[in-house]
Amino acid sequence: MKKFFKVILATTMVVAMTAALAGCGGSQSADQPKAGDDNESPQKETLIMATNAEFPPYEFHEGQGIVGIDAEIAAAIAGKLGYDFEIEDMAFDSIIPAVTSGKVSFGMAGMTVTPDRLESVDFSDSYATGVQVIIVKEGSQITSVDDLFADGANYNVGVQTGTTGDIYASDDIEGAGLGTIERYNKGADAVQSLATGKIDCVIIDNEPAKEFVAANEGLKILDTEYAVEDYAICFAKGSELTEKVNGALNELIADGTVQAIIDKYINAE
């Protein structure tokens, strides 16, 4: 059931394709104005997406802009619904507060639907699956997820603050007295810390894990999965946008647009 993907590393191509497909007029995703940008309708409303652009291939900085699967799906949704589109980059754990306070229209950040989050936000239907995996140094004595929970285990585990990796590890490891958690603002910082031997492993989503491991020598992803999750877009509770955006999302799933965007960034082997 485990899927192996090859990451597209031709980033310049990704950017070019992003600009072409997104065509969203959002300053973050395309730096050139495209033909058809609606200067004639300046009162067009803007959808603002909160994200944390430290999570390739879903959202990451490329040149001056933010690109990735979420950025492109959201731009396509905004385009379909006739909105302008902007991305606001922030800490991952600021996204839900920005959404609930109405500072942004929605949050999209490879965000997992969890019962806790459902208490403060509404979610769209899911558009992708995420798997929490463990990154270790090659030769690590941690060889499966179970090693983290073995009697007497005492590992120092890195996570990105506020992510499900953080939430699970806080309960299952720190809370159970089986180790300590180091929390980082960015997944990449956790991985850097692992590479330099400051921590024993990193718990993070599989697709960013693959990119971070590819970018660092001597790291690997354990075969066993910690958790399988659904990614969705979050909205302020009761927001009238939820239904509209969800409708557009489902049309983009049905007509193959979402899969095409995913395939651009993650190549099935």
Binding stretches for ligand ARG (CB under 6 A): 51-52, 54-55, 59, 92, 109-112, 130, 160, 163-164, 205
Q: How far is the CB of 258 from ligand ARG (least distance, A)?
A: 17
Minimum CB distance to ligand ARG smaller for 95 or for 154: 95
**Residue 58 vs 143, nearer CB to ligand ARG:** 58
Comparison of 105 and 112: residue with beta carbon closer to ligand ARG: 112
Of 110, 107, 130, give the one whose Cα is nearest residue 120: 107
**Closer CB to ligand ARG, 52 or 192, in the complex:** 52
- Shortest Å distance, C-beta 52 to ligand ARG: 4
Judged by beta carbon, residue 50 or residue 245, the one nearer ligand ARG is 50
Looking at beta carbons, which residue is closest to ligand ARG? 55
Least CB distance to ligand ARG at residue 166 (A): 7
CB of residue 204 to ligand ARG, shortest distance in Å: 7
> CA 154 → CA 10, 147, 148, 224, distances in Å?
40, 10, 8, 19
Shortest distance in whole angstroms from residue 211 CB to ligand ARG:
12
| Residue 263 CB partners (closer than 8 Å, separation 6+) | none
